[in-house]
Amino acid sequence: MKFDDRVAVVTGGGQGIGAAAALNLLANGARVAVLDLDGAPLMQQLAAAGGEAAARCICVYGDCTDAPTMSAFFDRVEAELGPVDVLFNNVGQSARERASPFLESEEATWRFVLEVSLLTTMRASRRVAGGMRDRGYGRIVNMSSDAALAGDAGLVDYATAKMGVIGFTRALARELAPHGVTVNAVCPGAIRTRAHDKLEPEVLARIVAGTPAGFVGAPEDVAAAVSFLAGEDARFITGQTLLIDGGRWML
């Protein structure tokens, strides 16, 4: 299996895209550690699937934006599973119910969105990148969004954070490329997650109408791309941004 003996970390991996990525990595032989405020959905899926995958998964309930929590999490991963080979910086979110036009927005909301969507990515990457460099191998995949490129109205803070992820990805990729470490970003568009299910039907209809593929993607569509970028076949791909949005935005 393509991730045999590899240790993978997924932040925010308890549900949605993160859980789908964790399950994909597990199905391909990885040992996986997840940090999420709510890991129950992932654990339920693992229990329902049966088999030995659950024995290769550590799920820690905790806040990815809390630096001591994240540090303790990585300490445990390294002690129980070993050095991290693959990092999927999945955690992040928009302002959701606090979203508003920029001129009506509040700085506290900006700071929250930047913290959860950008600074967690930088913090987790900083924790594992040194070891990857020293061992001459590593894969970092960062979660951005097509909102960064489309510039959706009402999502100024989110678009800013996610474009920051793209800039961080490119700069870190250039630093680590000589050491056998790749760094790439994925940019999902409309994906069927729990947050997405809360959208009003007319909003969802507008999203589908604006997507050339004509449908909303599934978390597994993103998970498959993450596993590709995290695998051996992507060894010559670094600093890139891959959109997974049914053609809504094209580079």
**What are the residue numbers of the active site?**
158
Q: Where are the alpha helices (DSSP H) in 84-243?
A: 107-114, 120-135, 147-150, 156-176, 201-209, 219-230
Give counts: helices (H), strands (E), the chain: 9, 7
Token pair belonging to 232: 């051996």
Other C-beta atoms lying within 10 Å of the C-beta of residue 208 = 14
How are beta strands 86-89 and 7-11 bridged, if at all?
parallel
Burial class (CB in 10 A: 0-12, 13-18, 19+), 197: exposed
Instruction: Find how far residue 237's CA is from the centre of its chain.
Output: 18
Which amino acid is located at 78 in the chain? E
Distance, in Å, from the CA atom of 109 to the CA atom of 102, rounded to the nearest integer, reads: 11
201 near 235, Cβ under 8 Å?
no
Kind and range of the H or E element at 139? strand 138-143
